[in-house]
Amino acid sequence: MTQPPAAPRNNITVVNLLPVALTVIAVLLLLSFFGQVAPSLLAITLALILATALNPLARYFERFMPRAAAAGVTVLLVLLGLVGMGFLAFPPIVSQLAGLSDNLPTNSTQLVATVKPWIHAHPQVAAVIGDDTLTRLGAQLNTLAGKLAGMLPSVAALIVGGVATALVTLVMVVFALGNPVPLVNGALGAVPPRHRVKATQALAQMLKQLGAWGRATMLIMLVTGTITSLGFWALGVNNWLVFGILAALGELIPTLGPIAATIPPVLFTLAENPEKALFVLIFVVAFQQFESYVLAPFLIGGAGELHPLSTTIGILLFGGVFGLTGAFLTVPFLIVIKALYQYFYLKDAPDIPDAVAMALISGKVEEQLDREKEANAETEKALQEARDAELTRQAEEGELDLQAVLEDPAPDTPTEPRPPQS
């Protein structure tokens, strides 16, 4: 007796479940690992960036001495330059830091008392900022001051750790700059042979752009600190040198760092003279515009060849995962990711011309799609009218063929009316 066919089993089969699960676990463990070793990662990455940035100078000295000696001379010259600038700037910095607290109001009530007369003297501002707003702002500043005071031990520990990290970084720079061949060979040797050419090209691009970015960053920090300090000095801002150094350090975090560095000088000056604080704010904003559109393109140029939006998104992502360390390392990370993307993916992907993007941005593609949509609508309308006419003719003649009329016609092929039968 023939058995009836078994009913199909509605089972869901998950393909590659174990590799996917292991990949997710590996990514999570990797993120956790990087979160734990963020300071060490900062030191290693900073050492490699500095070694790459100083490599052209070491190559120049290598003409006259061995590579190891050239690396030592390069690092020694950089240290002598830093020590010289520190020797000149250290006394005024200490003096200004010691007097920094004297320029602050002792509490929020004094700050409100300083700002309130200036606000009342400007009715337009008083219409926007009332006395209740100032009182609430003062209470919030008191709370913030208490929190900052509680963070002082942590800041001191952070400074001590930073000095130790700087010493370790210096040693790694000397090692990496003095004998870089084994490091490069080891990195390339870890790549499978079939991808080694692409890896060499990607590594060449990374070294070029990381070195250019490192040199440009140091230069723009120097220029920013100098111009900002001189501007604050000309405006009569107390502790102008400290704020200038803070502006220079803000350049370490692209896009968001310079904005954050402008807040302290404005707030400190606001507590002393609100009108002067307005001029300080105007100067800072004007300099940032000059830096963004003139100084940074001229000094950095195509060092990283990164879009500002990509950099901002990278700061938010890497900063959210790794904190301040990730924000600082955003540009190096993006340079590495971009090089790998270009040589391992885009080499095998079709090249999309810029004309396509320009057509999308200018709206020409939208206009073309609208025209095609209108043409398709007219074609559909013509097809529907032809079918209606055919249906009407057949109904009048009493020979209605519903199957032929109501079935979907072939695309873009109007239904031809049947010839009348005699």
Residues 149-198 have pLDDT tens digits of: 555 566 566 667 667 777 888 888 888 888 888 888 888 888 888 888 88
Whether 334 and 402 share a structural domain? no
pTM for the complete prediction?
A: 0.59
Q: Are 333 and 318 in contact (CB under 8 A)?
A: yes
> Is position 381 within any domain?
yes
Whether 298 and 386 share a structural domain? no
> Is position 32 within any domain?
yes
Whether 309 and 392 share a structural domain? no
Distance CA 358, CA 198 (A): 30
Whether 229 and 337 share a structural domain? yes
Distance CA 419, CA 65 (A): 99
Whether 222 and 331 share a structural domain? yes
Among 301, 316, 349, identify where a domain stops.
Answer: 349
Torsion of CA 191, 195, 201, 205, to 10 degrees: -60
Among 288, 319, 349, identify where a domain stops.
Answer: 349
What 3-state DSSP class applies to 411?
coil
> Is position 7 within any domain?
no
Q: What is the pLDDT of residue 411?
A: 46
> Is position 337 within any domain?
yes
> Is position 13 within any domain?
no
Phi and psi (nearest 5°) for 167? -65, -45
Whether 312 and 411 share a structural domain? no
Q: Could you tell me the pLDDT band of residue 251, with boundaries at 50, 70 and 90? A: confident
- 151-160, 219-228, 394-403: the lowest-pLDDT one: 151-160
129, two tokens: 């900022």
Distance CA 194, CA 52 (A): 27
Using the structure block, give the residue that is written with the tokens 């900073």: 46
- Alpha helix stretches (DSSP H) within 99-195: 108-120, 123-128, 131-150, 152-178, 181-189
Contacts of 131 (CB under 8 A, 6+ apart): 116
Whether 333 and 387 share a structural domain? no
- DSSP per residue over 348-367, as a string? GSPPPPHHHHHHHHHTHHHH
DSSP letter, residue 412: T
Using the structure block, give the residue that is written with the tokens 């490192």: 214
Task: Name the percent of the chain lying above pLDDT 90.
Answer: 0
Torsion of CA 142, 145, 147, 151, to 10 degrees: -170
Whether 338 and 385 share a structural domain? no
Evaluate the CA torsion angle 12, 16, 22, 28 in order and state its sign: negative
> Is position 205 within any domain?
yes
Q: Which domain holds residue 378?
A: 360-422
Whether 312 and 370 share a structural domain? no
Contacts of 389 (CB under 8 A, 6+ apart): 417
Whether 166 and 302 share a structural domain? yes
Q: Are 346 and 340 in contact (CB under 8 A)?
A: no
Cα 410–Cα 413–Cα 419 angle in degrees, nearest 5: 105
Whether 287 and 385 share a structural domain? no
- 29-38, 119-128, 344-353, 365-374: the lowest-pLDDT one: 119-128
Query: How far, CA to CA in Å, does 85 sit from each of 7, 90, 100, 163, 243?
Result: 85, 8, 22, 17, 16
- 50-64, 235-249, 258-272, 394-408: the lowest-pLDDT one: 394-408
Q: What is the pLDDT of residue 55?
A: 84
The closest of 52, 38, 45 to 216, measured between CA atoms, is 52
Distance CA 143, CA 152 (A): 15
Whether 295 and 378 share a structural domain? no
Among 305, 325, 349, identify where a domain stops.
Answer: 349
> Is position 69 within any domain?
yes
Q: Give the chain's domain count.
A: 2
> Is position 2 within any domain?
no
